[in-house]
Amino acid sequence: MKRSHHCGELSLDHVGQTVTLAGWVASRRDHGGVRFIDLRDRYGLTQIVFDSEHEPTVHQLADRLRNEYVVTVTGKVTLRPEGSANPHIPTGAIEIRTTSLIILNEAKPLPFALDDTITTSETLRLKHRYLDLRRPRMQALLQLRSQVSHLVRQYLHANQFIEVETPILTKSTPEGARDYLVPSRVNPGEFFALPQSPQLFKQILMIGGTDRYYQLARCFRDEDLRLDRQPEFTQIDVEMSFVDQEDIINLIEHMVRLVFKETKNIDLPTPLPRLSFEDAMGRYGTDKPDLRFDLQLQDLSQFAATCDFKVFRSAVESGGIVKALVIPGGNDFTRNRIDNLIDTAKEFGAKGLAWVKVNEEGNLDSSIAKFFNAQALREALPSAQPGDLLIFVADQAPIVHQVLGRLRLLLGEELQLVDQNRWEPLWVVDFPMFEYDDAAKRFVALHHPFTAPHPQDMPLLETDPLQIRTQAYDLVLNGFELGGGSIRIHAPQVQSKVFDLLNISKTEAREKFGFLLDALESGAPPHGGIALGLDRLVMLLGKTESIREVIPFPKTQKAQCLMTEAPSPVTLEQLQELSIRTTAKKPDSPL
């Protein structure tokens, strides 16, 4: 018996019709002579009535119903009696007077309540994800994700993009995250890698004349997990030929604005604000600033250079900087709380944390206040008001930025400065091309080794690589990196030069991506692109507490699936067939 309607659509308009519904028993209320159940499917809830007077047989059968039984019912849509309508659900004006009930399947008592309001440990939810997914909230999130994907596809197709699938079984890439490896049975001792991103393939597609490519690409990285990081995730992967940075930023802005408008009726600004990497680091101490609250880093290096506090002066003299955060109302921080801040600053890498209270009279209150000219400090820090707490870090710039950037986030949360209803997207642009890795004694690419320098910085490749800025851009939203991209190198000589600087030998470059180098020499168009994290986008749109909520079957922090219990040992035969022997000593290992 097929259903005629679903459980979310019946209303006064249907009164008098005979309908058939199917779904799960969401709850039951037994009054003896009359029994009610709420029947649930993806679309909603409908109340079903079993009346002993009119339909004694069906009423008796309904006694067997339990939560999450799967049933199909046929009956007449009727108006609920005076005073018993339920205004809280869309179908609350009507109910179904049942003439037929079929129990399609039974269900054991549940390991946890499916109620949206009841909190259950995530462990249990993940173990029984099939139950968890039945909850309206989870269905809504799946639907949101589907809606976002659909909008993205529509938009990109409308802009002449072609969706292309790139290989999942591919080649291990250097200079990135750890790869997930897949042994090749027919090539003993050799391995595929799962893609960390389709980066090289999309560039090859441009060289192949595809002009505009996109893919909702599954990517894999064998690194430790975070609340916004999973070992497999989906990115909206885009690449275009004959474009510059502005073209890509424009295209993506429109797409993101469309997604926010269509899914949540949110109007993002036009155009999106931009910050240079330098400004982002200087003012927020991070390349993914959360602009939902202000609390900017204040540069006090000039003041510090002339003050009597030796720690400050010597930091500046040795090429470092001094920056401060003005904590509004921080004057009432207890000594204990300040000590905790100092400890936290040290954990973040600072040698110490200087602090000064500005008391209600506007005087400086601190053990180091005697070193400062109060007037000079006021002029250097005009935003400081009576009642504030000033905290300072003096060190080399990267450390100052890292420490104050993190303290800013911590304090923003503690002092509830973050407006949860705000949406603060921005582009971070003009990234440096390289960083110097002191440990490895070499340059490393900040973005990736295929990112093109700014044309005017090109000569610096020979002279001062650390000063080179790239045509790279990150899209940041509320402190999360939504994605990033760049204009790519299309000149083979430039690409070779960059590999040199990264200390990737000719042999190694040849071995790892000889195909790209060959392709670049075969008529590569100028091209560039971007990749946005679909999971993070949906997580932010859905305001969920972690990325796992918007992934139907996510992994735990130990990169395991609690439902399937993957990964798991395999048989000795399987290993032998793959010419593999493991050195792991697990009690349940087949060795």
Partner RNA sequence: GGGGCCGUCGUUCAGCUAGGUUUAGGACGCCAGAUUGUCAAUCUGGAGGUCGCGGGUUCAAAUCCCGUCGGCCCCGCCA
Distances (CA, A) of 476 to 117, 130, 277, 418, 566: 31, 33, 12, 16, 33
Q: How far is the CB of 384 from RNA (least distance, A)?
A: 28
Q: How far is the CB of 289 from RNA (least distance, A)?
A: 14
Q: For residue 344, what are its two tokens?
A: 């936290």
* Candidate ranges 11-19, 191-199, 242-250, 533-541; the one touching RNA (CB under 7 A): 191-199
Contact call for residues 212 and 157 (beta carbons, < 8 A): no
Contact call for residues 322 and 393 (beta carbons, < 8 A): yes
Q: Does 445 bind RNA (CB under 7 A)?
A: yes
Q: Does 449 bind RNA (CB under 7 A)?
A: yes
Q: Does 14 bind RNA (CB under 7 A)?
A: no
Q: How far is the CB of 177 from RNA (least distance, A)?
A: 3
Instruction: Write the DSSP assignment of 179-196 as a string of letters.
Output: PPEEE-SSSTT-EEE--S
Contact call for residues 73 and 21 (beta carbons, < 8 A): yes
Q: How far is the CB of 108 from RNA (least distance, A)?
A: 9
Q: How far is the CB of 65 from RNA (least distance, A)?
A: 10
* Cα 167 from Cα 582, distance rounded (Å): 27
Helix residue ranges per DSSP H, 323-423: 335-347, 374-380, 397-414
The one among 17, 119, 318, 505 contacting RNA by CB under 7 A: 119
Number of residues that bind RNA (CB under 7 A): 67
Q: How far is the CB of 446 from RNA (least distance, A)?
A: 6
* Candidate ranges 268-276, 380-388, 440-448, 510-518; the one touching RNA (CB under 7 A): 440-448
The one among 2, 12, 105, 109 contacting RNA by CB under 7 A: 109
Q: How far is the CB of 179 from RNA (least distance, A)?
A: 11
* Cα 219 from Cα 216, distance rounded (Å): 10
Contact call for residues 65 and 71 (beta carbons, < 8 A): yes
* Candidate ranges 134-142, 242-250, 355-363, 551-559; the one touching RNA (CB under 7 A): 551-559
Q: How far is the CB of 450 from RNA (least distance, A)?
A: 7
- Comparison of 181 and 376: residue with beta carbon closer to RNA: 181
* Cα 265 from Cα 319, distance rounded (Å): 49
* Candidate ranges 30-38, 153-161, 306-314, 379-387; the one touching RNA (CB under 7 A): 30-38
Distances (CA, A) of 42 to 9, 22, 98, 168, 591: 11, 11, 21, 32, 46
| Residue type present at position 514 | G
Distances (CA, A) of 137 to 41, 42, 134, 141, 460: 12, 10, 8, 6, 53
Exposed, middle or buried, 461 (CB in 10 Å: 0-12/13-18/19+)?
Answer: middle
The one among 175, 379, 414, 577 contacting RNA by CB under 7 A: 175
Q: Does 36 bind RNA (CB under 7 A)?
A: yes
Query: What backbone torsions phi and psi does residue 72 show, to the nearest 5 degrees?
Result: -130, 135
Distance of CA 439 to the CA centre of its chain: 30
Would you say the C-alpha torsion 386, 389, 395, 398 has a positive or negative sign? Answer: negative
- Comparison of 38 and 535: residue with beta carbon closer to RNA: 38
The one among 1, 169, 227, 591 contacting RNA by CB under 7 A: 227
Q: How far is the CB of 123 from RNA (least distance, A)?
A: 4
The one among 444, 458, 494, 563 contacting RNA by CB under 7 A: 444
Compute the radius of gyration of the chain from its Cα atoms.
30
* Cα 508 from Cα 316, distance rounded (Å): 42
The one among 177, 338, 368, 460 contacting RNA by CB under 7 A: 177
* Cα 86 from Cα 47, distance rounded (Å): 10
Q: Does 327 bind RNA (CB under 7 A)?
A: no
Q: For residue 213, what are its two tokens?
A: 């490519």
Q: How far is the CB of 453 from RNA (least distance, A)?
A: 14
* Candidate ranges 132-140, 168-176, 364-372, 533-541; the one touching RNA (CB under 7 A): 168-176
**Span 65-104, contacts to RNA by CB under 7 A:** 66-67, 80-81, 83-86, 88-89, 92, 95
* Cα 176 from Cα 447, distance rounded (Å): 10
Q: For residue 540, what are its two tokens?
A: 């932010």
**Span 365-394, contacts to RNA by CB under 7 A:** none
- Comparison of 48 and 240: residue with beta carbon closer to RNA: 48
Q: Does 226 bind RNA (CB under 7 A)?
A: yes
Q: How far is the CB of 182 from RNA (least distance, A)?
A: 19
Q: Does 345 bind RNA (CB under 7 A)?
A: no
Q: Does 51 bind RNA (CB under 7 A)?
A: yes
* Cα 297 from Cα 289, distance rounded (Å): 12
**Span 454-473, contacts to RNA by CB under 7 A:** none
* Candidate ranges 217-225, 254-262, 302-310, 312-320; the one touching RNA (CB under 7 A): 217-225
Give the helix/strand (H/E) hosting 574.
helix 572-577
* Cα 586 from Cα 583, distance rounded (Å): 9
The one among 1, 33, 413, 493 contacting RNA by CB under 7 A: 33
Q: Does 583 bind RNA (CB under 7 A)?
A: no
Q: How far is the CB of 135 from RNA (least distance, A)?
A: 13
- Comparison of 2 and 88: residue with beta carbon closer to RNA: 88
* Cα 425 from Cα 444, distance rounded (Å): 28
Q: Does 556 bind RNA (CB under 7 A)?
A: yes
The one among 40, 145, 447, 512 contacting RNA by CB under 7 A: 447
Q: Does 30 bind RNA (CB under 7 A)?
A: yes
Binding site for RNA (CB under 7 A): 27, 29-34, 36, 38, 47, 49, 51-53, 66-67, 80-81, 83-86, 88-89, 92, 95, 109-113, 118-124, 173, 175-178, 196-197, 199, 221, 223-229, 444-449, 546, 548, 556-558, 560, 562
